[in-house]
Copies of this chain bind each other. A is one copy, B any other.
């Protein structure tokens, strides 16, 4: 009898009706012969409502108390789900963070799971109970309640699956992972499976389906994650280590775009790594996220450097750059779309970048900046070229 840890997101438990629906689904799963642990998020808008309460009290709510406040959302939904299951004649029990010694460390609001004591969960499972866990929360070394950040319930679910040597199923309001956003590319295909690393790249490119830390944790312990639509028979996507055969057959698995960045170019910087590192350190110290750094080869001891930053941070960033370069040497390009393809097959298939750039050049798409990782290629292109590029690459690589 294997242990299945299912996580249901806030939209799946938004109303008492939906909670009953989840109860039915969970009971059906248990009848299949599995031991079931369910991790729940807070109901629908509960977390936002609690934040509004806090903001009515203080413009900058104390972080320890905010975490104590927010943790109640998941306690409410977990108690209600356990009630619903018991009402249907099956045994269930809800546990919040301190009852399973979910130990966390790090900052309030984005703490990390250190460990948990799964003995209480195992015992209840052995008694035939469906165990409901309040996600998103833990107890730090001072005995304070901390939260794991938005989407943290995914990480709760994976951590429990790791401890119980089970599999993890994340149920949400989308029916799986797509090669690219189906709203932007109607031909987008749902993936049957995707490698952890590909999923991490997609998540870092803004695919909101999963909490990145949950994928990292699953990868570390080799726990497969199924992502699918709540209370539905539609088949979703499995995130796991994908074997080489599959990798070779498809070099590009996913495609993602983002219009949230701006490109900054500084011309005529002394070719001295210290100067560049000083600039990036100064920008980084303001928590501004720098991406797509590229540097031209030096001419007469001077280099040109381009990079992207989030649009919102441009004013703060300019303040810093002016300490290093004259205004006439600073250029801002607001018209960029970050266009990325991701595929673990790139590790073994060469020529993906070449194919991509040839396609762009044949179709008059200018590439302004390029960065690559082992399994990702990202270009900055003009925003007007975005949908043309999605269609070209989508059809070329059969996404």
Contacts and interface: CB of A to CB of B under 8 A. Distances in A.
Contact of A68 (B19, B56, B94, B143): B94
B56 A83 contact: no
Interface string A51-82: 00110111111101110110110011011101
B56 A76 contact: no
Given A65-B94, A93-B64, A54 B75 contact: no
A16 B53 CA distance: 7
Contacts of A333: none
A11 interface: no
A84 interface: yes
Contacts of A58: 83-84, 86-87
Contact of A83 (B62, B78, B145): B62
A57 B69 contact: no
Interface in A19-67: 19-20, 50, 53-54, 56-62, 64-66
A280 interface: no
A96 interface: yes
Contacts of A267: none
By secondary structure, the A interface counts as helix
A360 B344 CA distance: 95
Contacts of A78: 68
Q: Which of A65, A94, A120, A145 has the most chain B CB within a 10 Å cutoff? A: A65
Chain A: interface size category = 35 or more
A71 B71 CA distance: 12
Q: How many copies does the complex hold?
A: 2
A93 B86 CA distance: 36
Given A16-B56, A76-B72, A83 B66 contact: yes
A78 B64 CA distance: 12
A185 interface: no
A98 interface: yes
A271 interface: no
A82 B62 contact: yes
Interface of A: 16, 19-20, 50, 53-54, 56-62, 64-66, 68-69, 71-72, 75-76, 78-80, 82-84, 86-87, 93-94, 96, 98-99, 120, 143-145
Given A59-B87, A65-B80, 13 more contacts: A19-B57, A50-B76, A53-B76, A60-B87, A62-B83, A66-B79, A68-B79, A68-B96, A69-B80, A71-B75, A72-B76, A98-B98, A99-B144
17 contacts: A16-B57, A19-B57, A50-B76, A53-B80, A57-B87, A60-B87, A62-B86, A65-B79, A65-B82, A65-B83, A68-B78, A68-B96, A69-B76, A69-B80, A72-B72, A98-B98, A99-B143
